[in-house]
Amino acid sequence: MCGTTPRLNTPRWISVVGPLIAGTVIVALGDYGPAVTIVGLFFILGVITAPVLPETPGKPLPRYV
């Protein structure tokens, strides 16, 4: 990860799960409406998670080997 910690990318990683399972949900539910609602909840979860993650201004970035 180029200059960021995994903790700062948590909302992004949560959001990436939604599109990956969208096709499966559409097939399982048989329609786009319910599938879009369920996938949209992943993005809302990412937005809710972002404010509780720590800020790191002025702190040195960790070094990964």
Amino acid in the structure at residue 52: V
Q: How far is CA 58 from CA 12, 50, 55, in A?
A: 23, 19, 9
Rounded Cα distance between 14 and 34, Å, is 19
User: 1 pLDDT exceeds 70?
Assistant: no
What six digits make up the tokens of 26? 């559409």
* pLDDT, average across residues 49-55: 83
Rounded Cα distance between 25 and 45, Å, is 18
How far is residue 57 CA from its own chain's centroid?
22
Q: Mind listing the pLDDT tens digit for each residue in 12-45?
A: 777 777 677 777 888 888 888 888 888 788 788 8
Query: What are the residue ranges spanned by the domains of the chain?
Result: 6-50
Would you state the torsion angle of the CA atoms of residues 19, 25, 31, 35, taken in this order, to the nearest 10 degrees? -50
User: 48 pLDDT exceeds 60?
Assistant: yes
